[in-house]
Structure 1
Amino acid sequence: MKTKEQNLKSWFKSGAPWVWMTGGGVAIAVIMTLGLLAVIATRGLAHFWPADVIESTYQVPGESPRVLAGELVQSEEVPRARLKAAGLPVDTEGGEFMTRQLLKVGNREVFGADFSWVVAEWLSGSHTPANLLVMERREWGNFYGYLVNVKQGGQLVAEGDGAWAELQQRLARIDELHGQITRLEKKDIGRINHGLEALRLKTRRLELEDRLDAAAQADLDAERAQWDAEYKVLEAQLIELNTAFNRDSVTVKTVDGRELEISLGKVVRAYQPNAMGTLDKLGFYFAKVWEFVSDDPREANTEGGIFPAIFGTVMMTLIMAVIVTPVGVLAAIYLREYAKQGALTRIIRIAVNNLAGVPSIVYGVFGLGFFVYVLGGSIDSLFFAEAAPAPTFGTPGLMWASLTLAILAVPVVIVATEEGLARVPRALREGSLALGATKAETLWKVVLPMASPAMMTGLILAVARAAGEVAPLMLVGVVKLAPALPLDGNYPYLHLDQKIMHLGFHIYDVGFQSPNVEAARPLVYATALLLVLVIALLNLSAVYIRNHLREKYKALDH
């Protein structure tokens, strides 16, 4: 009969402990990943829910009471001694802790800040009036208070019970006018500005080439007159739209009785969260989420959407993939199929593997020094001399950001492709050559198709690393705010010299450079979640293609 010690040794020899250990490691990794995503999603997506607005009387001992209204953002227990050290008139008698709450009170023009810490024990009479109004504005943050009346051109239109319906109708009109103004400014006037700039550069180029004669000048003047005539028509339309846009206003009253008049052109939406049902709040929630992913940012990136950052991230990653795939695959093919396998080849492979571990900021410095200043400056001097001294490609932009990420990711693609080429059976190569195919034909029609899943694996790893990089991009083309997209209807349509926004840099900017920290915090989580989803979507697309290729060429393995 075996002893316990013998049973334990037998159990260890069977390998079961290592199975449990590795399974436990996988379980811990999955739990940590899901937990991280859950925290990010909870804190980010909760920001868009229309929370109830509380109205309370706040009585600080020794001071006059004042009425506050706002959304409860955070609540925490703090020691009384800490509050007393902060200068608050806290009574030392009582429990050891008091409750401190962070309220989003808005009304920045009144209070000077959007958020205020209060002591919960000093609040009284808290209630949620159904007619308490929240107005989300294009600047100055939210307004919390009560609607008094609606005016058109300074004349009273509605007040009392009918003012709310009138306000909603006029906000729908304002939203439509805002869309028309945005399209006019970005599309039509942007097209004219682009044409005038191209005309200016054409004039300067003719001057440099000493070809600006009377006939050429006449042609340029005629073209400029045509652009000016189009602009005058659009300018008149824009003035008319802006006049209509700023026609209406509302009179509102804060909870402490102060009245303000606000132009409806500055208001995005108005709602009464305390009067909204669950379905109304769900509709509002999804509208806010859609605004977040489809609109431009405002209020120093702490309000509005992040569509330019999404577009910039995806566009830069796709251009990087187009660049890095052929370069990495060709390098791997040469090293594996054509290069003489010796000491030099081994050194090159070691160098490639070491490049994968170089800090990303080093690539950013290289991209700034070589791509931007050397290569971009040379391109400007050769092809864009008429734009001098303003740089065209001699400044950070989309092309240099994509190239820098391609250099950063190319070692990953080389290593993965080499491994895929090495796994192709030698018998297949010899069989193809025996049937009369050349080495190039064998490589193109037999080897590369079978190694294509490994190439896609390298591309997946490259995208996963490059899409989340921030440090190098800060030097070679990513900026805080660039609402104009690099892809538009103006020739050459894709503007590789233009600066872009990026989700990773947006997280850094909002989280660490924002003047309104409390307002920015939930957007950091929401943007981080969106960045994870964008990278996951890009990776899943590549995984689908890889699996399709693997199934397609599986028969060649047998």
Structure 2
Amino acid sequence: MNKWFKSGSPWIWLSAGGVSISLISVIGLLWLIASRGLSYFWPADIYQFEMLDQNGKKTQIIGEIYDRESIPARQLSHLQLDLADAEEVERLLVKTGNRELVSLDFRWILVPQIIEQSTPEDIVLIERRTNGNFYGYIDALILDGQQVSLDRLPEMLARVTEFQQQMEELQKVDIGAINYQIERLRLQERKHRLEQTLTPDTEQAISEQVTELQADYQQLEQELLALRAKVSRDQLKMRAMDGQIVTINFEHILKVSFNNLLHFGEKLMMFFSQIASFISDDPREANTEGGVFPAIFGTVLMVLLMTVIVSPLGVVAAIYLHEYAGNNALTKLLRIAVINLAGVPSIVYGVFGLGFFVYMVGGSLDQLFYPETLPSPTFGTPGVMWSAITLAILTLPVVIVSTEEGLSRIPGSMRHGSLALGATKAETLWRIILPIASPAIMTGIILAIARAAGEVAPLMLVGVVKMAPNLPLDGNFPFLHLDRKFMHLGFHIYDVGFQSPNVEAARPLVYATALLLVTIIVALNMTAVSIRNRLREKYRTLEH
């Protein structure tokens, strides 16, 4: 036993056990997130429950079963239930929707109170733009003010989808572009007035352009109102679970589905369709409904900008510390500072970014280059650029340390050989040292991406918001608007999970968004790893 300990085998087994436990924990966590998140997109059966309430009156409840749990029977002693001395009672969490009729989307029902449970084939689930889902039976279909056969429902859904696409294009593309141009002309005129360079000819030219744009705006607004009028004439009359007739305009309807009629193949197609919609659509209903495309776009854009900023800064700093800086007190102080920066809490970086970059640098830029917009700030407010720079500083120590370690592994004989052949020190660095150290540089960038993509605390101070009306990238010059605020998947998880007005509805959405964030981080890391492996293979011969 003593020889076995001295041989070092126990520490090898302990290391292997630690790695195995970590791997199992990570796989288990991913499995939990994936199972809870992907179940959010599966089209569940819709149940109709016939129940007896506390007063013995029959009621009807329609909805999807979201969860089941058992509670101690003694907690229900105040209810007049025949539990037959049972110790536990099962209850169901049912999503009933129909917000215009009931105050909550979800309700708990006790299994002993259920008289009959069924899944009628004619129950309809309507996904709406506002007020969440509606569950019930179709009573009548109204097209252009007249009742028509239910067979025309797919035709009407296709028609309203086409109208909605046209209205969205008019609002976001055409009308949005006109508003943007009018605002730029207003700022241009104000800038001329501040600089006292506004001539009558310039003022008249700007006025003519504004008049022309306003005329185009009026024409587009008339087209938009006409489309809304066409959509508003189509209605769907629904019979809710309590027998009430509710009229739903087609302009509020996104999808109508008979979940209980779907076979496995159709449910699978709808499953992937809902995942695609989740990825490509905008959020609705305080982020508890719809998709997360703005958050995906903001996360990826911010990480890419951060990578572009931190990579050259980290590599140049590492080259200076390893290749040029002397072994003196200043260099030691710089190394200690880099190590200490890696341990600073991320929220401190957010406070620094808000105070220095946003208020000081951004405020100075506004005074120098955008005086016509003041007091409304342009760069003197949180935005995607300041978020990227703040995270670049946060991840800078990781890139510096990784790059410097890669440089230290290169033998000095290679440097001496290059210099002996007549190359300058700069040529040696560019053609010999950096190519060999490129895998280590990519390792630092991979670690920086992994940390930056999951950071939320500093972003809350320097750019991220709950809901961004416009993406940082659009069709208006200069196309990439680095001054705009943006949405982020990490903050979206926090907001939906802890700030949502409807906790039960938000719970599966939290898992789905977390799974998407992990997937994006893994995809970014795998891309960087593949680049690193190619560089390693390319310069393997040179390294040896």
Scaled by the length of structure 1, the TM-score of the pair is: 0.96
Contact 1:488-1:494 within 8 A present in 2 as well? yes
Q: CA deviation at 1:13?
A: 3.3
Distance 2:187 2:313 in 1: 35
Contact 1:308-1:483 within 8 A present in 2 as well? no
Q: CA deviation at 1:322?
A: 0.3
Pair 1:555 & 2:541 matched: yes
Q: CA deviation at 1:232?
A: 2.1
Distance 1:357 1:90 in 2: 59
Q: Amino acid of the residue matched to residue 52 of structure 2?
A: Q
Distance 2:290 2:154 in 1: 20
Contact 1:364-1:476 within 8 A present in 2 as well? yes
Contact 1:107-1:140 within 8 A present in 2 as well? yes
Q: Are the structure 2 counterparts of residues 45 and 92 from structure 1 closer, same or farther at C-alpha, using a change threshold of 3 Å?
A: closer
The aligned residue for residue 125 of structure 1 is: 116
Distance 1:375 1:123 in 2: 65
3-state SS, counterpart of residue 388 of structure 2: helix
Q: Paired residue for 1:72, among 65, 71, 80?
A: 65
For residues 326-385 of structure 1, what are the alpha-carbon distances to aligned partners after superposition, in whole Å with 9 as ceiling and x for unaligned? 111111111111111112211110110110010000000000000100000000000000
3-state SS, counterpart of residue 229 of structure 2: helix
Distance 1:204 1:155 in 2: 54
What's the C-alpha RMSD, in Å, of the aligned pairs?
1.2
The aligned residue for residue 258 of structure 1 is: 244
3-state SS, counterpart of residue 100 of structure 2: helix
Distance 2:381 2:231 in 1: 38
List runs of 5+ in structure 2 lacking aligned partners: none
Matches within 5 A, 1:274-289: 274-289=260-275
Q: Amino acid of the residue matched to residue 56 of structure 1?
A: F
Matches within 5 A, 1:435-474: 435-474=421-460
Q: CA deviation at 1:90?
A: 4.5
For residues 84-129 of structure 1, what are the alpha-carbon distances to aligned partners after superposition, in whole Å with 9 as ceiling and x for unaligned? 3xx5444575111111110001111111111001111111110100
The aligned residue for residue 487 of structure 2 is: 501
The aligned residue for residue 94 of structure 1 is: 85
Q: Are the structure 2 counterparts of residues 430 and 365 from structure 1 closer, same or farther at C-alpha, using a change threshold of 3 Å?
A: same
The aligned residue for residue 32 of structure 2 is: 39
Distance 1:90 1:499 in 2: 55
3-state SS, counterpart of residue 424 of structure 1: coil
Distance 2:214 2:87 in 1: 73
Pair 1:411 & 2:397 matched: yes
Q: Amino acid of the residue matched to residue 431 of structure 2?
A: K
Q: CA deviation at 1:187?
A: 1.1
3-state SS, counterpart of residue 467 of structure 1: helix
Distance 1:283 1:516 in 2: 28
The aligned residue for residue 317 of structure 1 is: 303
* Percent sequence identity over aligned pairs: 55
Pair 1:480 & 2:466 matched: yes
3-state SS, counterpart of residue 151 of structure 1: strand
Pair 1:152 & 2:143 matched: yes
Q: Amino acid of the residue matched to residue 287 of structure 1?
A: S
The aligned residue for residue 197 of structure 2 is: 211
Contact 2:51-2:114 within 8 A present in 1 as well? yes
For residues 395-439 of structure 1, what are the alpha-carbon distances to aligned partners after superposition, in whole Å with 9 as ceiling and x for unaligned? 000111101100100010111111111111111100100000111
Q: Amino acid of the residue matched to residue 376 of structure 2?
A: A
Q: Amino acid of the residue matched to residue 183 of structure 1?
A: E
Contact 1:412-1:461 within 8 A present in 2 as well? yes
The aligned residue for residue 228 of structure 1 is: 214
Q: CA deviation at 1:167?
A: 1.7
Pair 1:195 & 2:186 matched: no
Q: CA deviation at 1:157?
A: 1.9
Matches within 5 A, 1:50-449: 50-84=43-77, 88-90=79-81, 94-158=85-149, 163=150, 165-449=151-435
How many residues were matched structurally? Answer: 544
Q: Amino acid of the residue matched to residue 527 of structure 1?
A: T
Contact 2:81-2:112 within 8 A present in 1 as well? no
3-state SS, counterpart of residue 108 of structure 1: coil
Please say which of residues 522-531 and 173-182 is displaced more in the overlay.
173-182
Contact 1:327-1:410 within 8 A present in 2 as well? yes
List runs of 5+ in structure 1 lacking aligned partners: 1-7
Distance 2:469 2:166 in 1: 17
For residues 60-88 of structure 1, what are the alpha-carbon distances to aligned partners after superposition, in whole Å with 9 as ceiling and x for unaligned? 2324110111111111110112233xx54
Contact 1:296-1:483 within 8 A present in 2 as well? no
Q: Amino acid of the residue matched to residue 196 of structure 2?
A: D
Q: Amino acid of the residue matched to residue 76 of structure 1?
A: E
Q: Are the structure 2 counterparts of residues 88 and 499 from structure 1 closer, same or farther at C-alpha, using a change threshold of 3 Å?
A: farther
Contact 1:55-1:70 within 8 A present in 2 as well? yes
Q: Are the structure 2 counterparts of residues 88 and 379 from structure 1 closer, same or farther at C-alpha, using a change threshold of 3 Å?
A: farther
Contact 2:45-2:119 within 8 A present in 1 as well? yes
Contact 2:303-2:452 within 8 A present in 1 as well? yes
Contact 2:37-2:508 within 8 A present in 1 as well? yes
Contact 2:83-2:112 within 8 A present in 1 as well? no
Q: CA deviation at 1:39?
A: 0.4
3-state SS, counterpart of residue 116 of structure 2: strand
